[in-house]
Amino acid sequence: MTRAAAPESAPGTEGKPLAEVPLPGSGDTAERFRVLYALGREDLGVARLVEGHLDAVAVLDEIAGLRAGPGERWGVWAAQPPGPGLSARRSGGAWLLDGVKPYCSGAHSCTHALVTADTGDGRRIFAVPLGQDGVRPVPGTWQAVGMAGSDTPDVAFTGVEATAVGGVDAYLERPGFEHGGAGVAACWLGGARAAAEPLYAAVRKRPEDTVAAAHLGAVDTLLSSAGTVLLRAAEEIDGDPADTLGGARTRTLRVRALAELVCTEVLGHVGRATGAGPLCHDPRHARTVADLTVYVRQHHAEHDLAVLGVRAAALDGSAGPGGR
């Protein structure tokens, strides 16, 4: 399996150094989303790694006012599926982590990670240098063809020293948790645009093919509409970075639901318009489709839609389109 590593600059963005990517809510969240979109369009595996590093930088800044060091490559390992998971215990003046954390993107290439673990008082997030002997990626725990390049196995921890970042539930309760969730949708949408490239190329080559052109018209409508919503979300995040108006959760649920829908619809239109040819003969397209199919499953489908539905029912419908 080919394992990617987060680059020092963002592909598709004229070499913008990652250290210069704006933090969410800093006044230029749209630029942050443009970088993530470009990454997704270039390579979804790399996008996943860079998005994790950028998210970790934002978490460290928001919770603790800390910065990543030069040359450090961070991940955020915060998945909490059913199972025993990871626990944290005090030993003298230190925290030690034990157990298994699933879905650890960049397990072989990250130098540090922010890792959630259960304590006796609740769930906390910890900063972990990954060069310790007790950190061990578990072979064979990632079987998917899609997102293979993101290097996302389970990782076992045995007596691993860690530093608590913030208090109990600080990771989930900060406004930036929702802002980061919207950023992931930007990666998905970049991947959807990449997946649509064979259809764009087909219509450029044969504009008289009205069936292909109609499919591309639908794809263009979906992608441009989602892009507009994403930029509107960036404006709202910059207008209320601390979420004093309480709109962040609903906004992120809407953005992610729309992005997931757009990705699914784009894949359908492209497949129906171009047939099996690109999937069988274009390795970049085949990888993008496989990657996007897996990556977009970070959206929790009907579970997230149900949460959004309950919140939508409580809103004042007279607020009109985009109302909170």
pLDDT in tens, 136-148: 999 999 999 999 9
Whole-number pLDDT of residue 1: 32
Q: Is 90 exceeded by the pLDDT of residue 2?
A: no
Q: Which residues in 253-283 are b (16+ Cβ under 10 Å) and which e?
A: bbbbbbbbebbbbbbebbbebbeeebbeebe
The pTM (predicted TM-score) of the whole model is 0.93
Q: What is the pLDDT of residue 107?
A: 97
3 band by pLDDT with thresholds 50, 70 and 90: very low
Query: What percent of the chain lies above the pLDDT cut of 90?
Result: 88
Q: What CA–CA distance (Å, rounded) separates 254 from 285?
A: 28
Q: Tell me, what DSSP letter sits at residue 164?
A: E
Provide the pLDDT confidence category of residue 318 given band limits of 50, 70 and 90: very low
Judge whether residue 202 has pLDDT over 60.
yes
Tell whether the model's pLDDT for residue 322 goes beyond 70.
Answer: no
Average pLDDT over residues 278-283: 98
State which H helix or E strand residue 158 sits in.
Answer: strand 155-164
Contacts of 55 (CB under 8 A, 6+ apart): 76, 180, 183
Residue that the structure tokens 């969730």 belong to: 181
Tell me what the mean pLDDT of segment 124-135 comes to: 98
* The predicted structure's pLDDT at residue 17: 82
Mean pLDDT across the stretch 44-49?
Answer: 97
Distance CA(126)–CA(129), nearest Å, equals 10
CA 61: distance to chain centroid?
18
- pLDDT, position 18: 84
Measured between alpha carbons, how far is 184 from 245 in angstroms, rounded to an integer?
Answer: 22
Cβ–Cβ under 8 Å, residues 128 and 164 = no
Nearest 10 degrees: Cα torsion 40, 10, 229, 304: 50
Domains and CATH numbers, the chain: 66-167 (2.40.110.10), 175-319 (1.20.140.10)
Q: What is the DSSP letter of 146?
A: T
Task: DSSP for 35-92, please give it.
Answer: HHHHHHHH-HHHHHHHHHHHHHHHHIIIII---PPTT--EEEE----SSS-EEEEEET
pLDDT value of residue 19 = 85
Q: What does the pLDDT look like over 249-280, one tens digit per residue?
A: 999 999 999 999 999 999 999 999 999 999 99
Q: How many whole angstroms separate alpha carbon 206 and alpha carbon 33?
A: 33
Answer whether 274's CB lies under 8 Å from 197's CB. no
* Model pLDDT for residues 223-253, shown as the tens digit of each residue: 999 999 999 999 999 999 999 999 999 999 9
